[in-house]
Chain A
Amino acid sequence: DQQVKQNSPSLSVQEGRISILNCDYTNSMFDYFLWYKKYPAEGPTFLISISSIKDKNEDGRFTVFLNKSAKHLSLHIVPSQPGDSAVYFCAASATGGTSYGKLTFGQGTILTVHP
C-alpha cells in the first residue's frame, strides 16, 4: 500500500522553462510535506517543505503547492537549469503522536533539463 505516489517516473524539460513535478498521497494524517533532490552516488538533500496549514511555499526558483482536498502536491521549478537534473522525491510526515518525524517517500521522478 503506497501512501505517497509519484506517478511520473521521468520528466524532460528545456532549460529556462518550467518543471512541474507531481505527488499524490492517501493518508489524511499527513500534515507536513517535503521535497528532496538526489544526485547519483549522493544522499537526498532537502529542497523545500510545506505544512498543511499553507497551500503554497516559495524559495527562490522553487515553489511547492499543496491541495489538501485533492491530496496532491506539486513542485514548480522556474526557470529550470541543467544543474537541476536529478531525482526528486516527495515525502510526507504525520507530525503528531509518536511518529518521531518519520517520512514516507514516493518513488521519485527523474528530471532532465536539456540545455
Chain B
Amino acid sequence: DAMVIQNPRYQVTQFGKPVTLSCSQTLNHNVMYWYQQKSSQAPKLLFHYYDKDFNNEADTPDNFQSRRPNTSFCFLDIRSPGLGDAAMYLCATRDLGLMGEQFFGPGTRLTVL
C-alpha cells in the first residue's frame, strides 16, 4: 500500500543532543510537510518542501532544520533539543496538482530528558 512512513516511532534524546527524525513516502507526492503537535494542541506547521523548494514558517525556531535529498525522503533535524521541543512530530505529503487532502504518517513521539 502507498503510504507515509516515519521512523522511529518513539525517540528519546538528551537535552542539547542533536536528533534526526525521518519520513519517507511511496505516494510520489511533490509536497512534504513537517508538523509539531504538543499535547491537546493543534498540529503546527514547521516547514514544507515543494519538490526541492524549501519553505520555512516565519515562527519556526532556527533550532529546527530540514533536508529533502529526493522525492521520497524528508528529514527533520533538531540541532539542540530543549525540554520544550518534546512533542509529536508529524510528516505529511500531498500532490499539489490535485485539490485534496494531506496524507499523514503515524508520527514520531520525541522525549527530551
Q: Which residues of A contact B (CB under 8 A)?
A: 2, 4, 9, 32, 34, 36, 41-46, 49, 51, 89, 95, 100-108
Contacts and interface: CB of A to CB of B under 8 A. Distances in A.
Contacts of B96: 100-101
Contacts of A100: 31, 48, 50, 55, 96
A30 to B, nearest CB: 14
A44 B42 CA distance: 11
A101 B41 CA distance: 21
A49 B98 CA distance: 13
A46 B40 contact: no
A105 B42 contact: yes
B105 interface: yes
A34 B101 CA distance: 7
A43 B105 contact: yes
A43 B23 CA distance: 13
B8 interface: no
Nearest to A105: B42
A89 B102 CA distance: 13
B111 to A, nearest CB: 14
Contact of B48 (A32, A36, A89, A102): A102
Contact of B43 (A9, A41, A95, A105): A105
A11 B40 CA distance: 14
Interface residues of B, number: 27
A56 to B, nearest CB: 17
Contact of A101 (B94, B104, B107): B94
B34 to A, nearest CB: 12
19 contacts: A2-B42, A32-B99, A34-B101, A41-B107, A42-B106, A43-B6, A43-B90, A43-B92, A43-B104, A44-B90, A49-B101, A100-B31, A100-B55, A101-B31, A102-B48, A103-B45, A103-B102, A105-B43, A105-B44
A104 B45 CA distance: 8
B4 interface: yes
Nearest to A38: B104
B103 interface: yes
Contact of A107 (B40, B101, B104): B40
